[in-house]
Amino acid sequence: MIRRVLISDNIDINAFMEGVEEGNSKLEVDVRSDISAEELKAIIKGYDGIIFRSRTKLDQELLNNSNLLCAVRAGNGLDNVHLETANKKGIQIFNCPELSKENVADYSIAMLVNLTRNLIKAHLSMLDGKWERDLLTGCSFKNKTLGILGLGRIGTEVAIRARAHGMKVIAQDTEKTEEYATKHGVTLVSLPELLRQSDFLTLHLPLNKETHRLLNREKISLLKKGVYIINSSREQLFDFTALAEAIESGHVAGYATDVFEEEPPHSEHELIKLAKRGYNILLTPHLGAQVMEVQQTIARDSGKKVVHFFDNLEQKDKSR
């Protein structure tokens, strides 16, 4: 039986097909990396599987109107999938959580360096023919406290890198044990203590009902004055109005983010407007895992996952 698979986002097709070749199932692969949400809804019934990234939303309506047997997220987060509906319909959901953790951690530290040492401001100043050495004085990492909200795969990698920079590392994660944290040189604290103690705060939580708008106005008020925040997770973790006010007031000294609720963000996005007004904000277009070698590995792994799923399905059918 030939299985039809749709690729709805931009991935390395050659690497994907290399992964597919490791299995036995015959796949008919259609590449529609620029497909719109409406177009996807119109054609999804014709596919057994889909390969997608963060742009594609597998919402309740789309899944209910599909005949999908599996969906492979060529990346980590699954907040763009209505998992309850997928489970009810028996659609197998896969992702690739291990493959990008080091690179996202590297990127988080890189954003922190840029934010605290004014590298981009300095570069732009030089291009304007200025020499603003004294105005662009930064701050040191050594003996400062880095707070990690979410000590999972990426958060742990960030902790390793932060300790190499001489930082004290604390974290809040209800699913990690003291033993695990200690093994990685991290002290577990409550969320209020994390917010009060952190000179730098980096976010690595999945987006779900519990974490949506977790950092509301009350929580933001607990932040140490002058904190720098790195968000490599999801914009929706914040009460965005309260965050913008904290940046404008100077309570938050700097904010760097690689993620937006809508991607790409609208030109009138509040952070874009604040950045244009000169606030210490660093914005990048979801580049954390956008590394050539990583994207090739993720695409190859996605190919393996989808073909092995159909291989196993055929074996089950034969054994009945």
Helix (H, G, I), strand (E, B) or coil at 60: helix
Q: Say if residues 250 and 243 touch (Cβ distance below 8 Å).
A: no
* Phi and psi based region of residue 75 (left: phi greater than 0; alpha: psi -120 to 50; beta: remaining): left
- The predicted-structure confidence for 60-100, as pLDDT tens digits, reads as follows 999 999 999 999 999 988 999 999 999 999 999 999 988 88
Q: Among residues 145, 289, 15, which one has the least CA distance to residue 29?
A: 15
- The predicted-structure confidence for 231-273, as pLDDT tens digits, reads as follows 999 999 999 999 999 999 999 999 999 999 999 999 999 999 9
pLDDT at residue 297 greater than cutoff 70: yes
pLDDT at position 37, please? 96
Q: Say if residues 305 and 27 touch (Cβ distance below 8 Å).
A: no
Q: What is the mean pLDDT of residues 19-32?
A: 97
- The predicted-structure confidence for 8-22, as pLDDT tens digits, reads as follows 999 999 999 999 999
Query: What is the β-pairing status of strands 49-52 and 92-94?
Result: unpaired
Query: What is the β-pairing status of strands 168-172 and 252-257?
Result: unpaired
pLDDT at position 45, please? 97
User: Which residue's structure tokens are 């973790």?
Assistant: 237
Domain 2-96+292-319: assigned CATH number: 3.40.50.720
Percent of the chain with pLDDT over 70: 100
pLDDT at position 128, please? 96
Burial label for 92, CB within 10 Å (0-12, 13-18, 19+), is middle
Helix (H, G, I), strand (E, B) or coil at 192: helix
Q: Say if residues 85 and 63 touch (Cβ distance below 8 Å).
A: yes
Q: Give yes or no on whether 2-96+292-319 and 101-283 have one common fold.
A: yes
Report the C-alpha gap between 172 and 178 in whole angstroms: 11
List the catalytic residue out of 22, 61, 248, 263.
Answer: 263
List the catalytic residue out of 286, 293, 314, 320.
Answer: 286
Q: Among residues 149, 173, 138, 165, which one has the least CA distance to residue 223?
A: 149
Q: Say if residues 68 and 40 touch (Cβ distance below 8 Å).
A: no
Rg of the chain over all Cα atoms, to the nearest angstrom: 22
Report the C-alpha gap between 189 and 319 in whole angstroms: 51
Report the C-alpha gap between 134 and 15 in whole angstroms: 48
Helix and strand numbers (H, E) in the chain are 13, 12
- The predicted-structure confidence for 174-190, as pLDDT tens digits, reads as follows 999 999 999 999 999 99
Structure tokens of 82?
């209505």
- The predicted-structure confidence for 110-150, as pLDDT tens digits, reads as follows 999 999 999 999 999 999 999 999 999 999 999 999 999 99
List the catalytic residue out of 82, 204, 234, 300.
Answer: 234
- The predicted-structure confidence for 224-236, as pLDDT tens digits, reads as follows 999 999 999 999 9
Return the higher-pLDDT residue of 79 and 317: 79
Percent of the chain with pLDDT over 90: 95
pLDDT at position 316, please? 84
User: Which residue's structure tokens are 């197998």?
Assistant: 92
Report the C-alpha gap between 87 and 90 in whole angstroms: 5
Confidence of residue 40 (pLDDT cuts 50, 70, 90): very high
pLDDT at position 115, please? 95
Domain 101-283: assigned CATH number: 3.40.50.720
Q: Which residues contact 141 (CB under 8 A, 6 or more apart)?
A: 112, 116, 162, 165, 166, 167, 200
How many of the other CB atoms lie within 10 Å of CB of 314? Answer: 16
pLDDT averaged over every residue in the chain: 96
User: Which residue's structure tokens are 């979801």?
Assistant: 286
Identify whether 263 is a catalytic site residue: yes
How many of the other CB atoms lie within 10 Å of CB of 317? Answer: 9
Domain boundaries, the chain: 2-96+292-319, 101-283
Identify whether 157 is a catalytic site residue: no
Identify whether 165 is a catalytic site residue: no
Q: How far is CA 271 from CA 241, 254, 275, in A?
A: 10, 11, 6
